[in-house]
Amino acid sequence: MTIVVVMGVSGSGKTTVAKDLAAALHCQFLEGDDLHPRANVEKMSKGTPLTDADRLPWLQAIARRIDGWRSGGESGVVTCSALKRTYRDILIGDRTDVTLAYLKGSRALIERRMAARHNHFMPVALLDSQFGTLEEPGADEHAILVDVDGQPAEIVAEIVRQLRERRL
């Protein structure tokens, strides 16, 4: 069983990478943003950053999905910005069978990617709040760190390589 939480700021490529990773691992894919309450999506669409209180029910819903996979012995890949350590503690906590994959990119690269996106609820204007909130994973979180400057296939291959290394 393999469960991976793909994290990073908006525009880092979480959805693309996570879908491709789930296909490579032959497992389920969950777009974490699909579990946001409607009020959260409306706030973000208007350019208003979410508060921790706004995020809590969303993070708990993702954690329940992860626990469902775990109890069913299923593998899965889920996207979640997981910008703060406290958020990752809700998602992963003491779940040693869940791996964090951090998609790291420069602000300039992410801004270019966000500007090229259409029909996404997260406006470029919120990018500063994303980077301002971001707490990069600490060494004790044992995250897989991948630079998003490469192509999605290269990023997925690197995550798969590191997952395999961890199993040896």
Condensed to tens digits (0 to 9), the pLDDT of residues 9-41 reads 988 999 999 999 999 999 999 999 999 999 998
**Average pLDDT rounded to a whole number, residues 93-106:** 95
Residue 116: per-residue pLDDT: 65
In angstroms, the CA 66 to CA 36 distance is: 15
Residue 49: per-residue pLDDT: 78
CA angle, residues 103, 3, 139, in degrees to nearest 5: 50
Instruction: Tell me whether residue 9 is exposed, middle or buried, using C-beta atoms within 10 angstroms of its C-beta: 0 to 12, 13 to 18, 19 or more.
Output: buried
Band of pLDDT at residue 47, cut at 50, 70 and 90 = confident
Band of pLDDT at residue 119, cut at 50, 70 and 90 = low
**Average pLDDT rounded to a whole number, residues 120-146:** 82
Residue 65: per-residue pLDDT: 97
Residue 167: per-residue pLDDT: 84
Q: 21-58 as b/e, with b when 16 or more CB fall inside 10 Å? A: bbeebebebbebbebbeeebeebbeeeeebeeebbeeb
Which residue type occupies 81? S
Band of pLDDT at residue 85, cut at 50, 70 and 90 = very high
Top-tier CATH class for 3-167: alpha beta
**Helix (H), strand (E) at residue 4:** strand 3-7
| pLDDT greater at residue 82 or residue 125 | 82
Band of pLDDT at residue 124, cut at 50, 70 and 90 = low
